[in-house]
Amino acid sequence: MEAAGELWQWQSRTDERRLLEILSYGLVGIGALSALLLCFVRMPYGRYFSHRFGYPVPARLAWTLQELPSLLVPLGLSLFSGAARLSEWPNRVLVALFIVHYAHRYQCGSTRSVPPGSPAAQPPRGNHSVQGAAGRPSFRREAQPSLGVCPGLALRGKGTRFARALIFPVLIRGGKPTPFITFALALIFCVYNGYLQGRSLSNYAEYPSGWLKGPCFIVGFAGWLSGMAINIYSDHILRNLRKPGETGYKIPRGGLFEYVTGANFFGEILEWFGFALASCTFESAAFAICTLFILGSRAHHHHQWYLEKFEDYPKSRKIVIPFVF
């Protein structure tokens, strides 16, 4: 009887590992399909908002609820599903890195304005505003999260997971609502990916005892940390583009926005590729590739939009990867 039980457990683990592999391929497929769809349809949120995609959900509420599974699912798997590998320090640290990302997006707090004289506070030069009603200059900037990769299957997203879910919504200043379909797809995506990353790292990924001192983890962690810092700072610049009473769009200035249109997107892409290197799992690599597909497409849309709306938009800026693309 005991042997039969062990055989059943082995078979169950084998079946679930196969499931995780299939879901990883599916994640890459979601990213590729999203990038293809975005060649024809822009993501219906923010400046591209459309009522065709369902009843509008308030920005803060949508962001809070859709990102929450990225925090709760890995935590639940760690606490209630056995979590056979979480007795090992590499697995603990890597699960913590994933969860920490989602705290910034759920609740943070700083609503400080950019200090006068800083690059982000300087008004754009030349034809720097989008004209509002009756030809008056209008300066509007709705909340623009980076992936996030909760990209909402290419229909929503912005940049960190525990931080992303707990901190970012409090930082959103107004923001256009999110269509319900976009919100629902983002919620499903976060459940999907939360299970994929949480289950892989808490139950199956195996590392040697010196993994946290090895080159893959050190370089990957440096990429993860640098990407998160770029993401947070870039979001800070975007949140503070407009002064009280302004309601239009401005050209972002400062930080990596001097080199690329999607500085916040670049930060999140770097963050998840760093995480994938630190983890060295198929599941984390699939997530990084999905992030690249979706955020690269979003950055391309933003880049084209700025070029169309601002005659003086810097032509030297790349789309999302400094000096490259």
The pLDDT value given to residue 101: 87
Are 164 and 190 in contact by the 8 Å Cβ rule? The answer is: no
CB-based contacts of 11, cutoff 8 Å, min separation 6: none
The pLDDT value given to residue 226: 98
The pLDDT value given to residue 39: 83
The pLDDT value given to residue 61: 83
Q: How far apart are CA 174 and CA 163, in angstroms?
A: 19
- The tokens describing 129, both together, are 């505003």
- Cα–Cα distance list, 226 to 194, 214, 250, 258, 297 (Å): 22, 18, 26, 17, 22
The pLDDT value given to residue 11: 52
Sign of CA pseudo-dihedral 15, 21, 25, 31: positive
- Cα–Cα distance list, 13 to 54, 195, 287, 322 (Å): 40, 15, 22, 43
Q: Which of 227, 233, 244, 287 is nearest to 70 (CA)?
A: 287
- Quote the crossing angle between the two packed helices 215-239 and 89-107, to the nearest 10°: 0
Q: How far apart are CA 48 and CA 38, in angstroms?
A: 12
Q: Which of 44, 264, 92, 14 is nearest to 164 (CA)?
A: 264
> Residues 253, 303, 137, 233: what is their CA dihedral angle, to the nearest 10 degrees?
-30
Residue 159, classed as helix, strand or coil, is coil
The pLDDT value given to residue 64: 79
Give helix then strand counts, H and E, for the chain. 9, 4
Q: How far apart are CA 110 and CA 173, in angstroms?
A: 11
The pTM of the full predicted model, rounded to 2 decimals, is 0.77
- Cα–Cα distance list, 224 to 69, 75, 141, 274 (Å): 21, 20, 27, 5
pLDDT tens digits in sequence order for the chain, 325 residues long: 455 445 445 556 789 999 999 999 999 999 999 999 888 876 655 555 556 666 788 877 887 788 889 889 998 998 888 888 999 999 999 999 999 987 665 544 333 333 333 343 344 444 444 443 334 333 344 444 444 444 344 333 333 444 454 554 545 555 677 888 888 998 999 999 999 999 999 999 999 999 999 999 999 999 999 999 999 999 999 888 877 777 778 899 999 999 999 999 999 999 999 999 999 999 999 999 999 999 999 999 899 999 999 999 999 999 999 999 9
- The tokens describing 51, both together, are 């009522």
β partners of residue 130: 138
The pLDDT value given to residue 151: 38
- DSSP label at residue 81: S
